[in-house]
Chains A and B, each alone.
Chain A
């Protein structure tokens, strides 16, 4: 077990080192000088040089990489060039928009997808199944930013039930949840469509398995067999998809955050790239990569906990 964990840990560390080099290198080669961008077209060359020195850009790439990495190891994400505040503070503010939005959207998509998928599978080939599958086709095909605009048009401009965008902060939780509702729906529906389709096909696979026939032979009704045996087993691939969707929702809200002008992580990355605030981009992307790698590491450990073969092998 110890050898297994050590092995996983080594690969975790190597992954992080490689990721940090790749992220730094890729972001550094984006054309555009951050100092020249900040000072605009009337700036004098000596002014740009002075700002480059202030930002530490006059050092070599290697020196700046080690500065950045050693900072990260100490938990110091660096200082944003444009905002002139610590990157950690920027991330801390933004995560409280992006994370609740992702959770909200995931909850909505699950609430919609489970009943829809189960119902469709239990009525395979029937009118209900055809209707739901048709609707999910539409849900997968509709781009979520377009759907977001339609939601704004109906619920913000015509009915005036919601604001068209913005985020009032968590001082008033009800207002905050209300402000995240339209963005969460816009994010959730396409995800729900995918999830419902996975749920349905996974259930249909299970319904063809021997253990369902056995259950029916024991005297369970089709409905009892479905709920007691098929649904639980069908959940495994569905949970995998949910996990993937969550990281997509967390990092993938960029466009939705633009449409609803929400101050989330996606908008931070978007603004920082166009402003060439490279240190912010590097640190935020590194944080996301770190999260994913850590989750994988924990999953590996969990596999080992449930599957003894992994522990004893090698």
Chain B
């Protein structure tokens, strides 16, 4: 009997122990595998999805709602003229290889990103920096050539994380950051593993380890979640399966917003789209809700300008682009296209574009515009549409946060050239007062909405499917990230 008790007790301990083990690790799936692990050397969002806030940290960072909060900089002072930022760094921060993180590393990181031979995909974030000076090991001063209301926001991007000269050489395969998780292993093509950093300077995360898996095929994604091979799938690729997960008590479905303005990109320099009446006709020919329902299974928010609806500065300008095919036809007739015309519609791979493209093509056909659809891979899209501007229409989601500034660049692929708007953006960049910025942003949204630069379709939604007991995952994606610092299992 005694033996039996011991056995029962030890079995209970083993069961508890294995239960406890299972409760502090997580397997997260995302769709795309990072091509390499250097967030400062490529545009692939998957790099940030895995590493942002987990392995690498910047001076500032985005929180789950997109607000800019402290990162490695614990506080900062901005000079009265808005040109000099003095950052006070957190003390006692070490990189995962044991070296100390100090002001020299900040200087190294920023100078490297803005250097002539820099391969930083968002080099523009650092464009205004004229000097980075180390004051003391925990104080660093950044000088700008003109005031920049976006500077703290820019420093929160994954491309602006702090790296060390000691470990930069192999960063692409062995990322060394300051974050709460250290990189342990990457089986290319299959999975990537992170382990809790015992020397983390901030609050310790609840998870002991995390495994990322990369599953691009929507059917395989569904199978992996249903078979409980993964605990969470961030950015679940098949919206048609979400109701099934919602009905299953084993899972929870989180639907949040992203910074992705999905637009019918229009070549403003190519006739007939150089005529604002034709672009206005496009806007009225599109039934946004039908596209959201048909292509995205209802997930997404209609937009009337290039701005995220969840941003406090958003202005609802949908009224400018009400679905009105009659009006669209009369506008086309007025512009001399009573019999319509034919143009190209070049679609990149994501389903919002491929599925949305078919629906838009039929909506445009209803007002007399015929489209020749071409499906392109991303690399081809970047070459043909983005670089060579060889397109009439395209559909793409612009996922960078706060990217209305692209409308001020006349060489940007949709080639919108409006000096009034360009001047407004310059004023905005030099303005740091929040109320004035809101006002300028409202004006900017109105100008591009009334100029019908592109067909503004909808704000892309993001769906996360997770096991019911998992808490603390980001619902929204203010930047590409699977921030595991606040994730835990409920008991």
Contact = CB atoms under 8 A, between A and B. Distances in A.
Contact of B215 (A43, A94, A261): A261
Contacts of B217: 258-259, 261
B380 A32 contact: yes
B378 interface: yes
B213 A261 contact: yes
Contact of A276 (B122, B216, B379): B379
Interface stretch (A157-165, A216-224, A299-307): A157-165
A39 B42 contact: yes
A133 interface: no
Given A43-B43, A47-B120, A149-B219, A83 B36 contact: yes
Contact of A164 (B38, B173, B220): B220
19 contacts: A32-B382, A37-B378, A38-B42, A38-B121, A39-B121, A40-B43, A40-B44, A43-B123, A46-B116, A47-B120, A50-B117, A82-B36, A164-B224, A166-B191, A259-B219, A261-B220, A262-B189, A263-B189, A274-B379
Contacts, number: 158
Contacts of B215: 165, 261
A74 interface: no
Given A83-B188, A152-B223, A165-B220, A31 B118 contact: no
B227 interface: yes
Nearest to A40: B43
Interface in A253-280: 258-264, 267-268, 271, 274-277
Interface of B: 33, 35-36, 38, 42-44, 116-124, 172-173, 187-191, 213-217, 219-220, 223-224, 226-229, 377-380, 382-384, 386-387, 398, 400, 403, 413
A257 to B, nearest CB: 9
B125 to A, nearest CB: 9
Contacts of B43: 38-43
A63 to B, nearest CB: 21
A40 B224 contact: no
Given A39-B42, A94-B189, A156 B36 contact: no
A47 B118 contact: yes
Contacts of B380: 31-32
A152 B38 CA distance: 35
A242 interface: no
A90 interface: yes
A42 B190 CA distance: 29
| A interface residue count range (under 10 / 10 to 19 / 20 to 34 / 35 or more) | 35 or more
B40 to A, nearest CB: 12
B387 A33 contact: yes
Contacts of B38: 84
B123 A47 contact: yes
A297 interface: no
B122 A259 contact: no
A271 to B, nearest CB: 7
A25 interface: no
Contacts of A53: 117
B121 A157 contact: no
A40 B398 CA distance: 11
Contacts of B384: 31
A153 interface: yes
A58 interface: no
B191 A164 contact: no
A41 B382 contact: yes
A51 interface: yes
B121 A36 contact: no
Contact of B33 (A54, A93, A164, A271): A271
A37 B213 CA distance: 23
A309 interface: no
A31 B35 contact: no
A44 interface: yes
A85 interface: yes
A267 B481 CA distance: 25
A93 B36 contact: no
Nearest to B386: A41
